[in-house]
């Protein structure tokens, strides 16, 4: 399989560069989805459109098992700073997370699979809007995984040695939540603080106390993050404002830890505000669940990666993924493909305006995806 994928290396790179030059943001993947649809149709794969810019291909042979492979297609609102011939043609938009590579790899995997003999169905899910819009949930709602028994996804990973496949069972990416705390005090003159209820001081106290959740409430053996990333309020140096707003994010692997943190954010914010005589308004939004790799399916994925000589244990990350919408409903495995780009000397992280993948690794992702589908259809997870 790897040999076959290597023979198609030029094609996967050409596709990736084409998508890279034409990045589109979440739910705006119009050109991208047209290219995907046309490519699949040329392979004789049955295609359905979903969620406007989502594409689902179905390759069917007989009535056996049903396996799905997933790629996300959206770019980020970043202006590219790489000086390469395939640089983004659209200022303010860039494939800075590698989703261009995901689309290209899955298309070429579909090409290889369209020439194979197997019993069952392979579903190719090209979803819109992974970056913060939860496109996966919308695809699930519109039936993308109806009848599917298991699913695999690959994410290119810039820190990981190029060409390795990092795969481990259990939670590999964190749940992602957002919160907003509005502290309403009483404004006044900066020189007469005693006549005000100062929301700046109260908000500051809340920020510091929120940091005790991870250090004092979560077990030291568990992982969690509480980050306040935004704080705003006030209009001038000598005015005590009426209100101050805090915004932040919460990351965790276990649902119990997630619940615990949510509760503590409410309690701490309310009690502190109350102690100072202020009001508080709290919004808490659950965005993505944790991405948890199914034990048995992960065994199969590790076997496939080991056979290719590319397997490594996966380091968990507190980053999130809407792949969890699939993997929380059916057995799923989410693998990281190393694309560490040493050619430029410095390795730029995901979401950097200088992010760039090592394209030599892409055939390995292609071979992994195609092999996973065939192995699953052949033997299931036993």
Q: From the CB of 100, what's the least distance to Zn ion, in Å?
A: 11
Closest Cα to residue 45, out of 135, 120, 118, 111?
A: 111
Return d(Cα 250, Cα 200) in angstroms, integer.
22
Q: From the CB of 74, what's the least distance to Zn ion, in Å?
A: 9
- Which residue of this chain has its Cβ atom nearest to Zn ion in the complex? 97
Number of other residues whose CB lies within 10 A of the CB of residue 102 = 28
Query: Of the two residues 61 and 317, which places its CB atom closer to Zn ion in the complex?
Result: 317
Helix (H) / strand (E) element for 121: namely strand 120-127
Query: Of the two residues 97 and 244, which places its CB atom closer to Zn ion in the complex?
Result: 97
Return d(Cα 344, Cα 65) in angstroms, integer.
44
**Alpha carbon 105 to chain centroid, angstroms:** 17
What would the two tokens of residue 365 be? Answer: 């992702």
Number of other residues whose CB lies within 10 A of the CB of residue 228 = 17
Query: Of the two residues 71 and 244, which places its CB atom closer to Zn ion in the complex?
Result: 71
Query: Of the two residues 127 and 168, which places its CB atom closer to Zn ion in the complex?
Result: 127
Return d(Cα 178, Cα 198) in angstroms, integer.
25
Query: Of the two residues 97 and 301, which places its CB atom closer to Zn ion in the complex?
Result: 97
Q: From the CB of 348, what's the least distance to Zn ion, in Å?
A: 14
Q: What DSSP character marks residue 154?
A: E
Q: From the CB of 321, what's the least distance to Zn ion, in Å?
A: 7
Q: From the CB of 335, what's the least distance to Zn ion, in Å?
A: 13
Return d(Cα 18, Cα 15) in angstroms, integer.
5
Query: Of the two residues 112 and 156, which places its CB atom closer to Zn ion in the complex?
Result: 156
HSE (CB half, 13 Å, CA atoms) of 303?
A: 16
Contact positions toward Zn ion, by CB under 5 A?
97
Question: Cβ distance 65 to 377 under 8 Å?
Answer: yes
Q: From the CB of 164, what's the least distance to Zn ion, in Å?
A: 18
Q: From the CB of 105, what's the least distance to Zn ion, in Å?
A: 13
Query: Of the two residues 40 and 97, which places its CB atom closer to Zn ion in the complex?
Result: 97
Q: Under DSSP, is residue 266 helix (H, G, I), strand (E, B) or coil?
A: helix
Closest Cα to residue 45, out of 31, 54, 55, 53?
A: 55
Q: Under DSSP, is residue 127 helix (H, G, I), strand (E, B) or coil?
A: strand
Q: From the CB of 130, what's the least distance to Zn ion, in Å?
A: 6
Q: From the CB of 332, what's the least distance to Zn ion, in Å?
A: 16
Query: Of the two residues 66 and 292, which places its CB atom closer to Zn ion in the complex?
Result: 292
**Alpha carbon 32 to chain centroid, angstroms:** 19
Contacts for 241 with CB less than 8 Å, ≥ 6 apart: 185, 187, 199, 200, 233, 234, 235
Query: Of the two residues 97 and 292, which places its CB atom closer to Zn ion in the complex?
Result: 97
Closest Cα to residue 125, out of 104, 139, 105?
A: 139
Number of other residues whose CB lies within 10 A of the CB of residue 295 = 12
Query: Of the two residues 97 and 280, which places its CB atom closer to Zn ion in the complex?
Result: 97
Q: From the CB of 174, what's the least distance to Zn ion, in Å?
A: 14
Return d(Cα 371, Cα 301) in angstroms, integer.
9
């Amino acid at each position: 399989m790897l040999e076959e994928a290597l023979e198609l290396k030029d094609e996967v790179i050409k596709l990736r560069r084409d998508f890279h030059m034409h990045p589109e943001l979440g739910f705006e993947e119009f050109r991208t989805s047209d290219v995907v649809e046309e490519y699949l149709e040329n392979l004789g794969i049955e295609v359905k459109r979903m969620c406007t810019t989502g594409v689902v291909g179905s390759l069917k042979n007989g009535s056996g098992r049903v396996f799905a492979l997933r790629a996300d297609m959206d770019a980020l609102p970043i202006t590219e700073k790489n000086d390469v011939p395939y640089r983004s043609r659209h200022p303010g938009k860039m494939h800075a997370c590698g989703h261009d590579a995901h689309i290209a790899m899955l298309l070429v995997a579909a090409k290889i699979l369209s020439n194979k003999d197997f019993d069952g169905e392979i579903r190719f899910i090209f979803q819109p809007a992974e970056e913060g819009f939860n496109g996966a949930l919308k695809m699930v709602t519109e039936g993308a995984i109806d009848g599917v028994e298991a699913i695999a996804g690959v994410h290119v990973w810039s820190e990981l040695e190029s060409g390795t496949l990092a795969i481990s069972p259990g939670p590999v990416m964190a749940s992602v939540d957002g919160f907003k705390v509005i502290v309403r005090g009483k404004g006044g003159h900066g020189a007469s603080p005693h006549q005000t209820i100062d929301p700046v001081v109260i908000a500051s106290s809340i920020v510091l106390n929120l940091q005790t959740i991870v250090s004092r409430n979560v077990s030291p053996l568990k992982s969690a993050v509480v980050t306040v990333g935004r704080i705003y309020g006030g209009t001038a140096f000598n005015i005590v404002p009426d209100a101050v707003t805090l915004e932040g994010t919460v990351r965790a692997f276990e649902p119990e830890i997630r619940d615990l943190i949510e509760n503590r954010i409410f309690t701490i914010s309310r009690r502190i505000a109350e102690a100072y005589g202020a009001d508080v308004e709290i919004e808490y939004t659950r965005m993505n669940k944790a991405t948890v790799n199914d034990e048995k399916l992960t065994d199969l994925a590790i076997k496939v990666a080991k056979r290719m000589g590319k397997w490594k244990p996966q380091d968990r990350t507190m980053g999130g993924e809407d792949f969890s919408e699939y993997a929380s409903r059916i057995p799923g495995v989410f693998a990281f493909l190393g694309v560490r780009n040493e050619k430029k000397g410095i390795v730029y992280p995901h979401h950097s305006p200088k992010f760039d993948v090592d394209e030599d690794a892409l055939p390995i992702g292609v071979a992994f995806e195609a092999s996973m589908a065939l192995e699953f259809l052949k033997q299931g997870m036993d």
